[in-house]
Amino acid sequence: MTRAPTSRIYKKHETERMRIHPHKVDFAHGYPASADMFYHCLNCDDFVPSLPGESIGCQCRNVFIDTEAGRLSIKNDCRVLLVELHDNG
Ligand SMILES: [Zn+2]
């Protein structure tokens, strides 16, 4: 079992062979970011890496990470889950 690379967005169908570990997080305390975490947007089902190599956002722009400004913005965090993706091969 290997961790999925975290440099790009995964689409829902790409995660079907992966195991998804949700992390229970209170977003009121901020948005965590680490190399193995993704933000799963429940509006458009994109999985956005929390530490991308360059600025990136989900399809509906509910989640947007601006690497130049060092800012992670989420419009509606009730529609977002923080998850870890494990690739089963
Ligand atoms: Zn979205």
Render pLDDT for 27-54 as a digit per residue (tens, 0 to 9). 999 999 988 899 999 999 999 999 999 9
Q: Which residues of 64-88 are buried (b: 16+ CB within 10 A; e: fewer)?
A: bbeeeeeebebeebeebbbbbbeee
- Give Cβ neighbours of residue 26 (< 8 Å, ≥ 6 apart): none
| Structural domain total, the chain | 1
pLDDT for res 42? 97
Task: Quote the tokens at residue 85.
Answer: 């993706």
Strand order in the sheet with 71-74: 56-57, 63-66, 71-74
Can you give the pLDDT at residue 89? 61
Is residue 85 pLDDT above 70, yes or no? yes
CA of 30 to the centre of ligand 1 (A): 19
**Residue 75 scores a pLDDT above 70:** yes
Domain that holds residue 74: 2-87
**With bands split at pLDDT 50, 70 and 90, how would you rate the model's confidence at 11?**
very high
Is the whole model's pTM more than 0.85, yes or no?
A: yes
- Cα-to-centroid distance, 8 and ligand 1 (Å): 14
